Amino acid sequence: MAKEKQSLMNRFIHIIEKGGNKLPHPFILFGILLVAVLILSFVFSQLGTSITYFSASKTAGAAGKEVTVKVVNLLSADNLRYLITKYPDIYVGYTPLKLTLIMMATTAFIDKTGFFETLMKKYLLKAPKSLITFAVAFMAVNANLMSDAGTYFSLAIGGVIFHAMGRNPLIGVILGYAGCSGGFTANLFLAGTDALLAGITENIVEQMGLSIPINPAINYFFMASATVFLAITLTLFTEKVVCKMVGDGEGVVDRSLLEQYQPTPEQEKGLRWSGYGFLFFLVVMALLTVPQTAILRNQAGGFLPKSPLFQGITMIIAFLFVITGLPYAWATGQVKKDRDLANILNAGLKTAIPLMTTTFMACVFIDMVNKSNIFKIVAIAGAEVLKGAHVGVLPLCLLVIIVTTLVNPFMTSGSSKWLLIAPMVVPMFAVLHVHPAYAQLAYRIGDSCTNICSPLHSALPVIIGLLEEYQAEGLIPLRPGETEQPEIGMGTIFSLTIPYSMVLLSTMTVMFIIWMVLGLPIGPGVTMYI
């Protein structure tokens, strides 16, 4: 009976994998969508498609008015001239691209130098045996600071730690994978993902003519809190459910294996120097923020709702990465001359090449979508329906979570999905006078939790290979009730990652509901209604 179910699961996964692989590269996909928008704009403009709605005034105290929005023909001579002459400006001036390039370049100082990896190793190896599961989970959730590399680091180090502790390495590998890739959007630090998604949101808000401050920190309070809650629920689920499902080891600690992963004297020196760099960062930030006349305060002497502090958060985080990662690189001998410094920046910028390729077509698609008013009309119509149905903000946010969750396994690129969804969702929230940060947060929850359910994830072959190696060495114990080791395959992985995905989704959704009900801030300067 169990084999029949597994066979059905494998067939289902195969169908998903085959269908997902047929999706074109995002560059091609956005090219196809661009052509579709151009054609649809012509058709709908000829049909006279329009919508009229009541718009509140942007000026306080002024009366609102009825506004009519019509579909604009993008195949007109004027628009084609605009495309030909302005395309370089559209591409180079695309907000997400500008923010992400800075973050990618500076993140290299803590990623490519090995600083974050060494810090995590030191943190994990010092964790008490009784807290090792929580330590691995917490590390994994925050490891997405290293982007996709964090996923590979987490699953690998998770297996090593569990093996060294005399436990089932399969649990450590899957936990590391689930925590980092499934909890990808949560972090104690602002990362490239925050800058990228906020940049897309900001671009759409600007296109709508709204004056709403958008920065990478608009979801920070929620996401930083989520790291703790996710680590707790992942720990409980692992200990209470997963360990009983797959069997755990005898708990005999292998000290020799742990010692292999101890930081070297050079790395320890690097961590100390990084600590000095972090203290220097705190001193500089105190000088720039604490005095009443500090340059990062606004004209009123505060920080909210708008100030140089939050407007420049990307550069501040970039400074933090450089000032902590560079001393580590100096101490470990990775930076000896000016060329080495440039090479670190080059390594970071190389990770942005896929985004630059996708953006090459996506930026003009977004620009044309906004000029056509097609998505705006859809958003207004959807918002009017929701108004008439008296659907509150919470059900709307939950709908965004559900839709994103279902789409995510088939389209794994988070930025590509937000580029598609944001032009429709953000205006819908704006019409309902809800801050775009809530639309972005709902999307991020749905986008993150089902990553580990995708058969298209690049880490799957790595996980299978690693588990097969552990199994060949006799390190994976038999499952309760089994007399021989089952074959490691996609079914093995998904039988564990799907339940983990449900735990992640439930945790973050419940958190979101609590935040909404209690009116807790999701980010600095963000209020629910605008």
Q: Look up residue 511 and give its two tokens.
A: 């958190």
3-state secondary structure of 434: strand
Distance CA 85, CA 82 (A): 5
Q: Look up residue 350 and give its two tokens.
A: 């190389």
User: What pLDDT does 254 receive?
Assistant: 62
Planar angle of CA 426, 430, 433, nearest 5 degrees: 145
Q: With CA atoms as reference, report the closest residue to 237 among 125, 134, 155, 158.
A: 134
Q: Which residues of the chain have pLDDT under 50?
A: 1-7, 9-10, 13, 16-17, 20-21, 56-64
User: What pLDDT does 412 receive?
Assistant: 61
Segment 258-303, tens digit of pLDDT: 667 778 899 999 999 999 999 999 999 999 999 988 998 888 787 7
Q: With CA atoms as reference, report the closest residue to 160 among 151, 150, 169.
A: 169
Segment 145-202, tens digit of pLDDT: 766 777 877 888 888 788 777 788 899 999 999 999 888 889 888 877 888 888 888 8
Q: With CA atoms as reference, report the closest residue to 352 among 114, 26, 102.
A: 102
Which residues make beta-bridge pairs with 51?
Answer: 69
Q: Look up residue 526 and give its two tokens.
A: 């963000």
Residue in the structure block whose two tokens are 């060949």: 472
Measured in degrees and rounded to the nearest 5, phi and psi for residue 348 equal: -70, -40
User: What pLDDT does 379 receive?
Assistant: 64
Q: Look up residue 83 and give its two tokens.
A: 């495309």
Q: Residue 519: left if φ>0, alpha if ψ -120 to 50, beta else—which one?
A: left
User: What pLDDT does 203 receive?
Assistant: 84
User: What pLDDT does 17 receive?
Assistant: 43
User: What pLDDT does 175 receive?
Assistant: 95
37 in Cβ contact with 372 (< 8 Å): yes
The continuous run of DSSP H or E covering 462 comes out as helix 460-472
479 in Cβ contact with 212 (< 8 Å): no
Distance CA 492, CA 498 (A): 11
Which residues 6+ apart lie within 8 Å of 341 measured at CB?
A: 326, 335
- Domain locations in the chain as residue ranges: 25-518
368 in Cβ contact with 35 (< 8 Å): no
Which residues make beta-bridge pairs with 65?
Answer: 55
What's the Cα-to-Cα distance from 271 to each of 117, 265, 344, rounded to whole Å?
11, 10, 18
Q: With CA atoms as reference, report the closest residue to 381 among 73, 65, 45, 71.
A: 71
169-177 vs 460-472: helix crossing angle, rounded to 10: 170
User: What pLDDT does 263 receive?
Assistant: 85
The continuous run of DSSP H or E covering 66 comes out as strand 65-70
User: 330-340 as b/e, with b when 16 or more CB fall inside 10 Å?
Assistant: bbbebbeeeee
Distance CA 70, CA 73 (A): 10
Burial of 224 (0-12, 13-18, 19+ CB in 10 A): middle
User: What pLDDT does 4 receive?
Assistant: 40
Model-level pTM greater than 0.85?
Answer: no
What's the Cα-to-Cα distance from 446 to each of 182, 277, 358, 382, rounded to whole Å?
10, 36, 22, 20
Which residues 6+ apart lie within 8 Å of 231 measured at CB?
A: 134, 137, 138, 141, 179
Which residues 6+ apart lie within 8 Å of 525 measured at CB?
A: 213, 218, 303, 304, 305, 306, 310
Residue 281: other Cβ atoms inside 10 A: 17
3-state secondary structure of 105: helix
Distance CA 119, CA 321 (A): 14
User: What pLDDT does 58 receive?
Assistant: 40
Question: How many residues appear in the chain?
Answer: 530
Q: With CA atoms as reference, report the closest residue to 511 among 230, 220, 138, 241.
A: 230
User: What pLDDT does 9 receive?
Assistant: 46
User: What pLDDT does 79 receive?
Assistant: 94
Alpha-helix runs per DSSP H in 130-212? 132-142, 148-164, 169-177, 192-207
Distance CA 280, CA 327 (A): 11
Which residues make beta-bridge pairs with 53?
Answer: 67
